[in-house]
Amino acid sequence: MQSIIRYIIGLSIISASTVFGESAEFKKFQADYSNLDIDLLNNPCEVAAVKDFVYQKDLARFTFTDGAFYFLRYVDNRPTTAIFVGSGRAEIQIPAQVERNSLFCITHDSVVNESFENCFIRFSDDLDQLIKAKYPVEQSTLSWKIFNSAKQAQGEVFFKPVIQHRFDNYFQLLRSAYERKADGYFWVDFNRYVFAYDPNQPEQFRLAYEFEGGDFAITEAAILQKQALGVYDDMVLSEIRFPTTCLQRQGKFKMGGQDGCQIEAGLGQIKLIVNADSLKYVSLFLDFHLKEDSIYFHSQPVNYLRRRTFDFIGIILPEYHYKGDTLEFSLWYKGKGFDQALPFVENPRASMLSLELTVANGSNYYLPGQMAAQDIDGRFKLIEAIPERPFNTFRFQGYVAGADTIQALSDIGIALNFIKLGYITKHNFNCFMPENIQQPAVVAAFNFMTERFGSPPAAFEIFVSPEEGQGMPGLAYVPQVACVSEWEAYGGMDLVAGNGISNQWFGGALQPASDRESWVALALPKFLSLLYVENSRGAKAYYSNLFNRSDTLIKVIARGWDLPLATGSRLREAIASNKGVWLMHMLRFLMFDTKTRTSPSFNKFIQELSVTLNGKTFTNADFVKLAEKYYGAPLTDFFAQWLYGYNMPEFNVEYSFVQRDGSYYVDGSVVTKKVGDAFSMPVVMGVELTGRTSDETIYMRETIKAPETLFSLGPFPTQPKKFVFNEFFSVLSQDRVKKK
């Protein structure tokens, strides 16, 4: 063990002092990279006057009716920048329904048909050759007039890799320039739109929009795989061929700092398999709080580029690698960043991992899969964790001192280890929750969920942290400082406990196939917590929480922020959470048995959902198929609206009680607004008859279609006393109900 600690401590020296010669290839890459950012004013350029030049780039068609191209910033004697001044038109059709919906939410149009007078283009495809083959070119210098017009149109503002870029546009453009092909990189800014085609991203087509004039960042409105692949069905958009897949990750960290959460020296190792036909440039990601010192590829230093505020690291391999090859990287780094302490790739699929932490005695760390700490030399100890299942995100919690654990057993014998921190006391904090209130609520929430949905995946013991944080299987965050009196109407301490515990079923061990499934991890834990609140506090707290979420969604839609759930992380987290919770609630009442007033199929659906989503890679289509299995019929219309669509319906209902042929009926009409004419949704309705109590209400379903639906409920033996449209709030909607 002595050698282990010396090795780990030595990481800081190695990572800071490792120096290796930069290859001629890399020096050229750095010089060309810098050239992509040079100022254009008075820069030498080539000018081509064009007329009726049509350029098709994937799904985008650009017609340059009359004007001139100015070509600049040369790499290997080919331009990488073009400014067009004149008149033209951009036409873009979006073939995937969910992406058309997304585009409409952001731009209020489902197509792009824009005339323009100025375009700023960054490219490494054959645009220049096509123009030069058709039009004469003259040597010139970019004038102030042309330069200023490009600046006023914001030109390169959204291209520069400064903020909110997952990839480094300069790196992506340059890697494509070295492999100059007709299928190369193309980025264009026109009016308030930005269209980008990057052959080296998992989804190559991207259309973005300046949501408000003067924005410093653009909003991604539509993302698709390239046209040649023909992937347009909403149900298959998640089937993406990522360039690489992570097979395994390992971390060896020397921890320190005042709070014990500083990586003083770290080694993150990642093993990938190549999915692309050929690969020389690799995209790796590391939390930008973590500052890398060097990167090794198969034990040899490798060249790479990374901007200071980016997660993205662009690695340049010494030679090409091919489909099926394995790549192993070692990254030396330090800093803070525990949402992703290990390096990762753009492919979100879960991978096996292991961690070794060298920590000072007196420090406490909590990790899923943790083994007993091993003493090293009386001053340091080694903590190892090897979870039995793969994770896509993995977190750990550390405390310098003053931490202890109190163990409680659940009904099925799983250990819940409550972390007790000395500084969290009633004396130090307002809204302090004593252990005799916090811990029973947590245990009760855990017991409820295991009884309903089975054991959490691969959990033998669980650490419960008394602080705020994002939970995952094996590590739950249930704050002990919580002003629950403010949330009593929504569930109080039971809501807090439920939120913390529910991530044991839908947390970092989920295995999404793409980013389009990110709503699942945001919404499903919160819905499970609501089911627990309903069980512990009753229906009033459950529905109060739902109403609060629907109010938020109404405001969001009014502001134009709504997007389909299946757009993934493009949707604001709060919206994805609220809309996802409502989707689950509506599924519950689609599966609700109106005669027995129970939902046994829905409970089985949740249980199998947890096993499926944690047990294999899943897509939105897998979620849909499982829901249809327990519903017993296709749910095409439901998911078209609530997963792939946007907005909520407004129901304008008029009804009356009528007598016909000696029986009674409820006749009504529903005018549906704010959704498309294809909208169709079963709605639960309740009828209370004269002489019966509300407990004897008769429940029925009617399918409501846009734009108008007539319905007749009955026959009933006695006159209806009360009619309720949309019982149990079975549909997320705004209802206006009037008796005629």
Contact between residue 623 and residue 583 where contact means Cβ atoms under 8 Å apart: no
Write the class of the CATH domain 650-739.
mainly beta
Question: SS3 sequence, 704-719?
Answer: EECCEEEEEEEEECCC
pLDDT for res 692: 66
Question: Which fold does the domain 1-25+241-401 belong to in CATH?
Answer: Immunoglobulin-like (2.60.40)
- Give pLDDT, residue 209: 95
447-484 pLDDT per residue, tens: 999 999 888 887 788 999 998 888 888 999 999 998 88
- In 3D space, the residue among 528, 546, 436, 434 whose CA is nearest the CA of residue 489 turns out to be 546
Burial of 603 (0-12, 13-18, 19+ CB in 10 A): middle
Residue 630 pLDDT exceeds 70: yes
The C-alpha atoms of residue 24 and residue 256 are separated, in whole angstroms, by 39
CATH 1.10.390.10 intervals, the chain:
423-633
User: What is the predicted pLDDT for the residue at 694?
Assistant: 58
Mean pLDDT of 259-284: 95
* Number of neighbouring beta carbons within 10 Å of residue 42: 11
DSSP 456: P
* Confidence at 398, pLDDT banded by 50, 70, 90: confident
328-383 pLDDT per residue, tens: 999 999 998 777 899 999 999 999 999 999 999 888 888 888 888 999 998 999 99
661-685 residue pLDDT tens: 999 999 999 999 999 999 999 999 9
Boundaries of CATH 2.60.40.1840 in the chain?
A: 650-739
Q: How confident is the model at residue 309 (pLDDT cuts 50, 70, 90)?
A: confident
Please answer whether residues 519 and 506 qualify as being in contact, where contact means their C-beta atoms are separated by less than 8 angstroms.
Answer: no
pLDDT at 525 (0 to 100):
95
DSSP string, 12-31: HHHHHH---PPPHHHHHHHH
Query: What superfamily does domain 423-633 belong to in CATH?
Result: Neutral Protease Domain 2 (1.10.390.10)
How do residues 527-561 score in pLDDT, each as one tens digit?
999 999 999 999 999 999 999 999 999 998 888 88
Where residue 9 falls among pLDDT bands split at 50, 70, 90? Answer: very low
Cα–Cα distance between 676 and 705 in angstroms, integer?
10
What would the pLDDT profile of 194-232 be if each residue is shown by its tens digit? Answer: 999 999 999 999 999 998 766 778 899 999 999 999 999
CA distance 418 to 476: 9
Spell out the residues 6+ positions from residue 143 whose beta carbon is closer than 8 angstroms to its own: none
Which amino acid is located at 359 in the chain?
V
Instruction: Collect all residues with Cβ–Cβ distance below 8 Å to 534 and sequence separation of at least 6.
Output: 541, 542
Helices (H), 39-80: none
User: Side chain identity at 386, as an amino acid letter?
Assistant: I
pLDDT at 92 over 70: yes
Task: Give the lowest-confidence range in 411-415, 440-444, 507-511.
Answer: 507-511
The pair of three-digit structure tokens given for residue 5, joined into one six-digit string = 């600690």
Token readout for 243 is 């360039």
Q: How far apart are CA 74 and CA 71, in angstroms?
A: 8
Q: Is a pLDDT exceeding 90 seen at residue 411? A: yes
